[in-house]
Structure 1
């Protein structure tokens, strides 16, 4: 199997004041709602639908029990953007030790990209990372929010993170196996 070099950039905010919000798109009926009942089926749907064309593959082999166990962990949250009732994208947060929250996954279903939903969803999700401890008694207040993006992600990903106030703290280049676009189903995206 051949490999391709993939650049991964890690970014962070170290204060809620770092967040630069983006307004909701005008004229759209976009709502952002927390998926409070852990659902492996729904989470896998979001993961495959958002990440299929940009080759997210690390969770595709997870069995049902792995999804269930991960989603049930205290401090894991999924926030979903809906456009007129249809899931348009999501932000997945994971509380870590010492007041750190990672934005583990963030993105939009391809049909909803380029409509100014991404900046709004990222702003909203980042704000929820900063106030996550309020929803999870016993968790330390958030002191740092971080994420990573890579050269496989959408062409506007890095700029969106930086416009929301994230700053770069690490860059790595590593080979990864080259994989075909996994879908959400075969043939979903034109080659």
Structure 2
């Protein structure tokens, strides 16, 4: 379906975001790590409560909600799949960043989730995490690494991904039930996306 030019109404109780898909089709030049004492830890068959907690702390403000709506069986089927890799960025002994790589499609890697907790934004931790993400992805025989972000995300997200070597190739509109209205997320998060109930 092609949306008409101009404004399109979004029903009350819904949220809408512009989603930008970005990709790289060749390994980019290595970039130096910023100064910092971060490490990366792989979580093999991550515990669901652990995953949900880290996912919430990193993504709640940016309305990451799809995984939070999954039941245990649905979530485990994804994050315990052999072609899915989950990593935590560790800062001062605490897990403060999430990286999830999906190798289920031959020759490709999707950066499904990527982000750091609020206290690490602007510190260089995201650059460190992206450097590790690209090393891990391109250590395999790939033709493409890709991801998507949206207008609910940090305002610098698209520019960050482009500086990392990704180029935009597709744009979509995503409409969903507002997760703050069904208890998936607190009403107090994502103030940059107003709640419209009626």
Where structure 2 has 5 or more consecutive residues not aligned to the other structure, the ranges are 1-11, 192-198
Q: CA RMSD in A?
A: 2.4
Distance between the aligned counterparts of 1:190 and 1:8, measured in 2? 17
CA shift for structure 1 position 185: 7.3
SS of the residue corresponding to residue 70 of structure 1 reads: helix
CA distance 1:187–1:4, shift in 2 (3 Å): closer
Equivalent residues of 2:34, 2:127 under 8 A apart = no
Does the CA-based 8 Å contact 1:89-1:106 persist in structure 2?
Answer: yes
1:23 aligns with 2:29: no
Instruction: Please name the residue that 2:75 is paired with.
Output: 67
Q: Residues 186 and 169 (structure 1 numbering): CA distance in 2 closer, same or farther, change over 3 Å? A: closer
Q: How many angstroms apart in 2 are the aligned matches of 1:50 and 1:183? A: 18
Flag as ranges the 4+ runs of structure 1 deviating above 4 A.
Answer: 181-191
Give the equivalent residue in structure 2 for 1:6: 17
The answer on whether the counterparts of 1:49 and 1:183 sit within 8 Å (CA) in structure 2 is no
TM-score, reference length from structure 1:
0.83
**Residue of structure 2 aligned with 1:87, choices 81, 95, 102:** 95
Q: Is the CA contact (8 Å cut-off) linking 2:88 and 2:99 kept in structure 1?
A: yes
- 8 A Cα contact 2:99 2:115, kept in partner: yes
Between the aligned partners of 2:155 and 2:182, the Cα distance in structure 1 is: 19
**1:14-163 counterparts in 2 under 5 A?**
14-16=25-27, 19-26=28-35, 28-131=36-139, 133=140, 141-163=141-163
Unpaired runs of 5+ residues, structure 1, are 134-140
Aligned-pair distance for 1:40? 1.5
Q: How many residues align?
A: 180
